[in-house]
């Protein structure tokens, strides 16, 4: 299976999200990653449901909405209603009860559920087999801002996640500092989706940067 590239629109032009979404789709992006932050769980404020709705209207590829929120269970339905195809919540912000409530909301919208882990959080911190998870996101930076340096010490956790969840056909997404210098190595350690922010939309030629990432991981 060829790994997928999910450019993060956080690194794009916030004044014209629809155009950014259209460009990413035309260049061959597999998904669009939308970072949702509340200024509490992560030290930044980003997009709300209205932005997700605009992106959804502009592009038909899946929207991967990463909810870096202190109370994701209070907001997930708003993002699902706005067009999120995947809702990813942080293990640090939920327990088994709230994750089950989010899971029910996701099923109601026929969407998919992901669970994300900060760099220092163990994969055993929640009972994942008890939930219908479609994607596990391994953060290789601390949540907050685009353009941070990839944390190489997290690579063993990528492999651990692939070994634990690959047999369940769960996607392994890696988010943070992914670029043309490390993309192939990340995929060789089991990643199936790469989130790419500054390494695509922060470049002078973002179309070529995206296509180069796709070329590098093809056949990984």
- b/e sequence 2-31, b meaning 16+ C-beta within 10 Å: ebbbbbbbbbbeeeebeebbebbbebebbb
DSSP 3-state of 210 = helix
What CATH code is carried by the domain that includes residue 95? Answer: 3.20.20.70
Q: Is the pLDDT of residue 219 over 70?
A: no
Write down the pTM of the prediction: 0.96
pLDDT in tens, 59-109: 999 999 999 999 999 999 999 999 999 999 999 999 999 999 999 999 999
Total count of domains within the chain: 1
Q: How confident is the model at residue 220 (pLDDT cuts 50, 70, 90)?
A: low
pLDDT score recorded for residue 118: 97
User: CB atoms < 10 A from the CB of 78, how many?
Assistant: 15
Q: Is the pLDDT of residue 197 over 90?
A: yes
Active site residue 175: yes
Active site residue 38: no
Q: How confident is the model at residue 126 (pLDDT cuts 50, 70, 90)?
A: confident
| Of 1-10, 32-41, 91-100, 121-130, minimum mean pLDDT range | 121-130
Q: How confident is the model at residue 145 (pLDDT cuts 50, 70, 90)?
A: confident
Q: Is the pLDDT of residue 28 over 80?
A: yes
Rounded Cα–Cα distance for residues 165 and 148 (Å): 27
Q: Is the pLDDT of residue 146 over 80?
A: no
DSSP 3-state of 162 = helix
Rounded Cα–Cα distance for residues 76 and 79 (Å): 5
Catalytic residue among 38, 64, 175, 179: 175
Q: What is the dihedral of CA 47, 49, 143, 131, to 10 degrees?
A: -170
Rounded Cα–Cα distance for residues 111 and 134 (Å): 10
- Domain holding 134, by residue range, is 4-217
Catalytic residue among 35, 38, 64, 179: 35
Q: Is the pLDDT of residue 166 over 90?
A: no
Q: Where are the alpha helices (DSSP H) in 59-123?
A: 76-82, 96-108
């Amino acid at each position: 299976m060829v790994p997928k590239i999910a450019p993060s629109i956080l690194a794009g032009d916030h004044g014209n999200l629809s155009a950014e979404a259209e460009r990413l789709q035309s260049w061959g992006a597999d998904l669009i990653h939308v970072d949702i932050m509340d200024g509490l769980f992560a030290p930044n404020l980003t997009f709300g449901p209205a932005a997700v709705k605009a992106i959804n209207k502009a592009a038909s590829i899946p929207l991967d909405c990463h909810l870096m929120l202190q109370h994701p269970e209070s907001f997930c339905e708003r993002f699902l209603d706005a067009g999120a195809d995947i809702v990813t919540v942080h293990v640090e912000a939920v327990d088994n009860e709230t994750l089950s409530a989010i899971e029910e909301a996701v099923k109601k919208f026929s969407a998919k559920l992901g669970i994300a882990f900060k760099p220092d959080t163990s994969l055993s911190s929640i009972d994942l087999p008890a939930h219908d998870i479609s994607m596990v996101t391994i953060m290789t930076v601390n949540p907050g801002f685009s353009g941070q340096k990839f944390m190489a010490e997290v690579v063993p956790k990528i492999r651990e996640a692939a070994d634990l969840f690959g047999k369940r056909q769960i996607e392994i997404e890696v988010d943070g500092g992914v670029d043309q210098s490390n993309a192939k190595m990340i995929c060789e350690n089991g990643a199936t989706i790469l989130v790419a922010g500054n390494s695509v939309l922060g470049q002078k030629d973002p179309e070529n940067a995206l296509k180069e990432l796709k070329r590098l991981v093809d056949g990984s």
